[in-house]
Structure 1
């Protein structure tokens, strides 16, 4: 019996109670939720519905809980509904109702856990957005994992999501990149504010090899040619390594396109129309200080050039014009100051930032190997790159570890730990549970034992109930992760589920031994194994981590 089914039974009991006792029907709730008690001795589920309604009705909570419990105990699948404390209701399911969940999960397959919490929402999720002047580095790597998982979680909760990468392809950084490439091609020192690392020289040499004419161009044309060649090649490399990391984007949005398409002028017209734009000393400003920013921000400089902030403001307006009702930004630890600015932009555009904007700040990541922090990448010059991380620990381990911590906490990638094939390695621990179940199911097939018809009443032992309880929680875990923007909840849940499965398997023999005939108990346990494997696969899929059949 799923939590949703229990919630529905509670609502039916509340309606019956209101009818039987002549209570004010205007207080009838439209929905309610049930929770798993921390102490399973208190039952399978608990509800505070009586406490919530008593004050509205002027009734005593324990009396109301007693009445609701009497109605609920008559519902199919409910063994008892006992009043506790000031008015809690502890609900116990009949063994068959609890075990029926295994059939529900197996039948749902990949759809189990998906819901409609965010149905109707259109979310623009912008993350990574690395400058096209170098490799994707460690800071971007955390967002490459978390952003992609968050998008998957939003979709599992019913939202429509666009994964967007903002290409910063205007401004001084590209010019400095071009100067660095020319210096690399000429064998000269990197200019001040230039880009260092072997990748710059390698890229410059590759451009010269493919375009031998480039060095003969006039100086200005040569610089432009290096800039455009280097920019496109570096962007292609970013796309390739992100795809290898299983992070794919729906939109690669060029900052240049804001200007070339006229979108920035349209955005400025909208902002002017809201009344928060003014001119001072030949420049154009936006009065962001009206909405919590520490000072007003310039949109257009006195020479007519748009500022970075002007592009940011236009970019937000452009996102909203594309029909997204919520714009979510994933920013690095050094971007705290951007939160108020982005929210002020939304306010100046006439939006409620509490409804249209979310900003998540990701804290720093360290890579540890042999007990010491790694700080340098020979190829990149000064930083650890996504390519380094993939080479060190692999895609599965990196994605899993990067998403199992809250984004507001710093974290460590321990290379030695994440390459171990032991239970100390969290991704190995979860994947091994999946592989172990797959092995059990293969062995069952070899023995000619299939699941047959499920007798759910046979799934009643303590560790079996604990496993069923965890499986029932999976949809709520997804919903909570989506609502709170906390995808690490998925990883932590999977680790707990894996542990419960291992304890169940170690305590209860799934397959017959020797010449024993398969029993209905064996078959019921196979149903539970298949249900657990389904949830592990679904959860690992949300994390973008593989579910191996063998390990």
Structure 2
């Protein structure tokens, strides 16, 4: 059982308690579970009972007892204890955890770089209108990629004539001009005009730098400009397309983009380098295994999770991260997630090297570790692609 699975299991218990009228409180959108701190009980803990106590008009321990009764015997949960003022502490079923890890790694390897893509926005047609400014253009393009990965049909439009150099940053606004005022009785959102003055689409127009209430998932956050006078041509000359896109997308929309030379430095301090280097190391592990005659573990084989628990948890969270990044129009969420995956991959690689070291002989453990490395590399490559950043196999 992964942390996401456990969170869902606890949420089901809350819903059941409310449905049975044992608990009168609003059901939260999600339940947070965390690794138990040193000295704590079990493997994971949740403060959901404390969160629900006030609205339910009950003591937190009483709420915890209600939930514990409904968690008893849940698949993948070996035991539930209540500690402190009402924390729920979970011990997981090791066999169920092994099955979850096996299924997760197989699912990533089977779906490839499309792992995490979904159909939540099937049937949605959106037109993203952005300012004539390089960061707004790149952000709009990344949001388009994220929304498309969730099934939406998306087009971009610029409020003014697009900068020709944006194409070298992977941006292509197929229309430009502010949306025209709606005709009486027309649906929500006007349509922008092509260069010949004809409507470009009938999709609802949603601006990326306004607070349009029609935006799916709520109004987008305004995007601050880059330093005055910074153009696409200047960024490309100094940083190249990959580092320029990462530098524009990594900060949250309300933060100023840092576009210094550190973005192209091949050092630990450069987050982009760490992410791409982790991808290259993962791919190298798979190539090295093949050279040694080590076959990657197949779908029916258990996964040796030694040193990989944190990494597997992040891989499991990837679909939810993509959905949230699309919903909130926040590519920075995906960038931060990729940084976390890269860090967890390096920790895994150091704790349980996928390839034999020294005189060590290839074993079944190396087969499963190679599968984990391959899954990590796949998630990193897919995430970078959605940000419009390349993922080279060699660095």
TM-score (norm 1): 0.60
CA shift, 1:163, in A, is 1.9
CA shift, 1:542, in A, is 1.4
CA distance, structure 2, for counterparts of residue 314 and residue 527 of structure 1: 48
Is the 8 Å Cα contact of residues 157 and 192 (structure 2) preserved in structure 1? no
Please show how residues 128-207 of structure 1 align to structure 2 within 5 Å.
128=131, 130=132, 140-167=133-160
Return 5+ residue gaps in structure 1 as ranges. 131-139, 169-234, 272-311, 332-338, 344-351, 367-374, 376-382
Could you say which residue in structure 1 is the equivalent of 2:311?
467
Could you say which residue in structure 1 is the equivalent of 2:107?
104
CA distance, structure 2, for counterparts of residue 40 and residue 531 of structure 1: 28
Change (3 A) 1:464 1:72: same
Could you say which residue in structure 2 is the equivalent of 1:294?
none
CA shift, 1:493, in A, is 1.8
Please show how residues 152-551 of structure 1 align to structure 2 within 5 Å.
152-167=145-160, 238-239=163-164, 241-249=165-173, 251-253=174-176, 267=182, 269-270=184-185, 322-324=202-204, 327-331=205-209, 339=210, 358=219, 360-366=221-227, 383-415=229-261, 417-453=262-298, 455-456=301-302, 458-459=304-305, 461=306, 463-513=307-357, 516-551=360-395
Could you say which residue in structure 2 is the equivalent of 1:192?
none
CA distance, structure 1, for counterparts of residue 141 and residue 279 of structure 2: 22
Change (3 A) 1:254 1:396: same
Tell me which structure has the larger Cα radius of gyration: 1
Change (3 A) 1:15 1:394: closer
| Partner SS for 2:222 | strand
Change (3 A) 1:58 1:519: same
Is the 8 Å Cα contact of residues 206 and 215 (structure 2) preserved in structure 1? no
Is the 8 Å Cα contact of residues 2 and 313 (structure 2) preserved in structure 1? no
Could you say which residue in structure 1 is the equivalent of 2:90?
91
1:201-237 CA deviation, whole Å, 9 max, x = no partner?
xxxxxxxxxxxxxxxxxxxxxxxxxxxxxxxxxx6xx
Q: Which moved more, 1:496-505 or 1:157-166?
A: 157-166
CA distance, structure 2, for counterparts of residue 60 and residue 156 of structure 1: 43
Is the 8 Å Cα contact of residues 208 and 222 (structure 2) preserved in structure 1? yes
CA shift, 1:3, in A, is 5.0
| Partner SS for 1:361 | coil
1:141-162 CA deviation, whole Å, 9 max, x = no partner?
2122211112222233444422
CA RMSD of aligned residues (A): 3.9
CA distance, structure 1, for counterparts of residue 155 and residue 287 of structure 2: 39
1:294-344 CA deviation, whole Å, 9 max, x = no partner?
xxxxxxxxxxxxxxxxxx98869x99x9242xx43234xxxxxxx5xx86x
CA shift, 1:427, in A, is 1.5
| Partner SS for 2:34 | coil
Number of equivalent positions? 384
Change (3 A) 1:123 1:89: farther
Is the 8 Å Cα contact of residues 330 and 362 (structure 1) preserved in structure 2? yes
Please show how residues 13-52 of structure 1 align to structure 2 within 5 Å.
13-14=13-14, 23-24=20-21, 33-37=30-34, 41=38, 45-47=44-46, 49-51=48-50
Is the 8 Å Cα contact of residues 45 and 90 (structure 1) preserved in structure 2? yes
CA distance, structure 1, for counterparts of residue 216 and residue 285 of structure 2: 48
CA distance, structure 2, for counterparts of residue 36 and residue 253 of structure 1: 46
CA shift, 1:502, in A, is 1.1
CA distance, structure 2, for counterparts of residue 471 and residue 358 of structure 1: 29
CA distance, structure 2, for counterparts of residue 90 and residue 115 of structure 1: 32
1:509-544 CA deviation, whole Å, 9 max, x = no partner?
222246644222112211211111111112111111
Change (3 A) 1:47 1:111: farther
